[in-house]
Amino acid sequence: MKINKFSSKSFTLLFIILIGFSSCLDKGSENSSSSKVTYESIDWDLKDIKKLGKIRALTVYSATTYFLYKGRPMGYEYELLKRFAEHLGLELELIVVQNIDELFEKLNNGEGDIIAHGLTITKERKKEVAFTDYLYLTKQVLVQKKPDNWRTMHWHKLENAMVHDAIELLNDTVHIRANSAYKERIQNLSEELGGPIHIKELPGELSTDQIIQNVAQGEYEYTISDYNIASIMEANFPVLDISVPVSFSQRIAWVTRLSSPDLLKATNKWLKTMKRKVDYNVIYNKYFKNKKAFRSRAKSQFYSLNKNQISPYDKILKNYSKTLNWDWLLLTSQVYQESRFDPKDKSWANAEGLMQIMPATAKDLGVTDPTDPEQSIRGGTKYLKQIWSNFEKVTDSIQRIKFTLASYNCGLYHVIDAQRLALKKGLDPEKWDDNVELMILELSKPKMYNDPVVKYGYVRGIEPYNYVIQIFERYELYKQVINT
């Protein structure tokens, strides 16, 4: 229901917010997460994480937190997490939680070490989980859709068609996730106004940006969002209006378990240093203020939130991955590593095309035009299959794939040299991880590449070493967000 506009609307909003100020401080809100926390946490802290060698971050797939764009993992939390893991000297494992309401449960059950998603610091939640220092400040706003013909409407008619004050929500319905603090804020607002604001509860599988998109498309009339998310969404949906605030500023942070004080301390120490760097503001602006870039992503068919698609070559990659009996996402990760999906890419060594095939190799593989996507992928997978056949003694399929990828990068015989060196050093020559990969690194040192067992000399081992790691890291990310 909408009531007539009146000149004291600003005073009314201030009055409403002041009445509910204390409850906002206690209950807060965020663009994601359950507000009901009742889970006991396990005893697992930084020393255990470092012993494991990786930090497991629980996050959410959304337009700002984490997503894929043209095969590249991106997102505000994702970029910060990469830097944090690097600072700790740890591998990063991203765990994408499909249902936002399960974030706290999974954290305290030990399924992750930290929640990296925009959560509001609240007094009630502090009893159950630990919040880091805040990442940024934001406020809650009403998200509503303008009339379809708003561009041609007379200003007065447009004004009358919109909500301009929170009090005008009385007897109307707002669509919000069932366990979000947005719901708490609307309930408090309803009490403060002395009348009902109806709530239509939505499932935890819907992210805030998805709900906002549904408002823009006319499926819902109203929702509530953090301003920074609503603002970036408005860039792609100008039919949205986000001008009505419903809360004061609130602190947005990450979350750790109460039983992880050392991790919390390390996170806060890193955040304090990170906030002083230019990178910190650059990353924030990239995802919450660069509206032009957001519009470009949102319109792309290779933006994973739009379509379940990574590149223009998904169909070809799915087809030829079958010849290797590999997951097509793994092959896709390799192609991204080689060329960033640019079929005209050419290296300083004249390797060319999606799979960066050298001229002599291309000739042997029957590739007449390496810039042709299908020829390149067909030739590249044929070459991978040839390399694969040289590692029959490697019984573990994942290890065999890693040997194959390393050989594709630096040459089969350099990898065989690393296997010989591993055997001599008492390591397992049929295992890449922590064995042959260490010897490939050693082959950049004169003492090692001049060893009698080494037949093919020097290789810059850091390249195949990183090549394998990066392809598998990206592959794990692809698996999290692409439905196969």
- Residue showing tokens 């001008």: 243
Cα(111)–Cα(109) distance, integer angstroms: 6
Q: For residue 280, which phi and psi values (nearest 5 degrees)?
A: -60, -50
Cα of 211 vs its chain's centroid, Å: 18
Active-site residue 124, yes or no?
no
E-state strands within 23-113: 54-59, 67-69, 72-74, 91-96
Report the 10 Å Cβ neighbour count for 279. 13
Q: Which amino acid is at 468?
A: V
Long-range CB contact pairs, 304-307, < 8 A, 24+? 304/67, 304/68, 304/69, 304/481, 304/482, 305/61, 305/62, 305/63, 305/67, 305/209
Asked if residues 125 and 258 have their Cβ atoms less than 8 Å apart, the reply is no
Rg from Cα positions in the chain = 27
Sequence-separated (6 or more) residues with CB below 8 Å from residue 252: 30, 118, 119, 120, 121, 134, 135, 136, 137, 138, 226
Using CB atoms within 10 Å of the CB of residue 18, give its burial: 0 to 12 exposed, 13 to 18 middle, 19+ buried.
Answer: exposed
Cα of 26 vs its chain's centroid, Å: 29
Cα(84)–Cα(78) distance, integer angstroms: 10
- Residue showing tokens 């990206």: 474
Cα(409)–Cα(471) distance, integer angstroms: 11
The encoded tokens of residue 275 equal 């906030």
Report the 10 Å Cβ neighbour count for 137. 12
The encoded tokens of residue 328 equal 């097509």
- Residue showing tokens 């303008």: 146
Partnered with residue 352 across adjacent β-strands are 346, 357
Q: Which of 79, 168, 338, 437 is catalytic?
A: 338
Sequence-separated (6 or more) residues with CB below 8 Å from residue 433: 399, 402
Q: Residue 440: enclosing H or E segment and its boundaries?
A: helix 437-442
The encoded tokens of residue 405 equal 């990828």
- Provide the annotated active-site residues: 338
